[in-house]
Amino acid sequence: MSADRRKTLGALPPRETGYEVGYAKPPEATRFQKGQSGNPRGRPKGAKNRRPALHEERLKGIILDEAYRGIEIREGDRSLTVPMAKAVMRAIAHNAVKGKHFSQRLFAQLVGEVETANFMLNKEWFASAVGYKDEWDHELARRKLHGITDLPDPIPHPDHVLLDMTTGTARIAGPATREEKAQYERWADIWVEYQTDIPIMEDWLKHRRGDTRNELSKTIAILRKTEAILDKVLPPDMKDVALAKAQREDEDERGVG
């Protein structure tokens, strides 16, 4: 290739004799220099060994990394990969069953601590749910008494906070965030549409034959199943609101005042 041709193509200057460029052999001008980091913005050298800052809890991270590191164990004629914590607990339980007193005491202690922690968490959650429901019931009653209608309802709504005084448990049977409320409202609109669409499709089915009837029958079955799921998931008050909304829209379309 002529010098003019190389200049036109912007070719690299001639390489020193004896150095080949190819796979894993970049041009010398672009190679990393000795002592130069390939990732200058990465973790500083020796960062793993430095003292943690006051806001860091690096030891906890190390412990958790080890606790959930997968290891291989034998179970009968099978090999399983399980977290280290699970393998250790399984070993303790097996030794306890075999009658080893230390393992029995340790296993009983661990189970008791976990059950106590779960009990306390549920107790706190139940108390919070009772307080939340009571406060909002009073607030909504106050709004109704004074005719206040321009304030948004709380999320979750107190009617959706279900308390079981027998078991001391509480659960939310409805949306718990604004995003969930929007999703529930969309589901409620779909549920209302199914109340009208499914009977119409079932009426069409009476007049269909052959493949068209089979396909329509399958579609109706899917819609019925979806409707049953929505009917179970949606709180009654949200279904009532969606039905009232659909009725108003229908009246507006028909010009009913």
The residue range of the domain holding 249 is 178-254
Rounded CA separation 156/132 (Å): 10
- The two structure tokens encoding residue 235: 């709180």
Question: Is residue 15 included in any domain, yes or no?
Answer: no
Given a contact cutoff of 8 angstroms between Cβ atoms, the answer to whether 133 and 158 are in contact is: yes
Question: Is residue 231 included in any domain, yes or no?
Answer: yes
Question: Is residue 56 included in any domain, yes or no?
Answer: no
Chain-wide mean pLDDT for the chain? 85
82 and 128 belong to one structural domain: no
132 and 190 belong to one structural domain: no
Res. 20: pLDDT tops 90: no
> Model confidence over 152-178: pLDDT tens digits?
999 999 999 999 999 999 999 999 999
Question: Is residue 167 included in any domain, yes or no?
Answer: yes
Q: What pLDDT band is residue 74 in, cutting at 50, 70 and 90?
A: confident
93 and 75 belong to one structural domain: yes
Question: Is residue 30 included in any domain, yes or no?
Answer: no
187 and 214 belong to one structural domain: yes
Question: Is residue 27 included in any domain, yes or no?
Answer: no
- Of 97, 115, 133, the position where a domain reaches its end is 115
> Model confidence over 175-208: pLDDT tens digits?
999 999 999 999 999 999 999 999 999 998 888 8
Question: Is residue 19 included in any domain, yes or no?
Answer: no
Domains identified in the chain, total number: 3
Question: Is residue 98 included in any domain, yes or no?
Answer: yes
pTM value > 0.75:
no
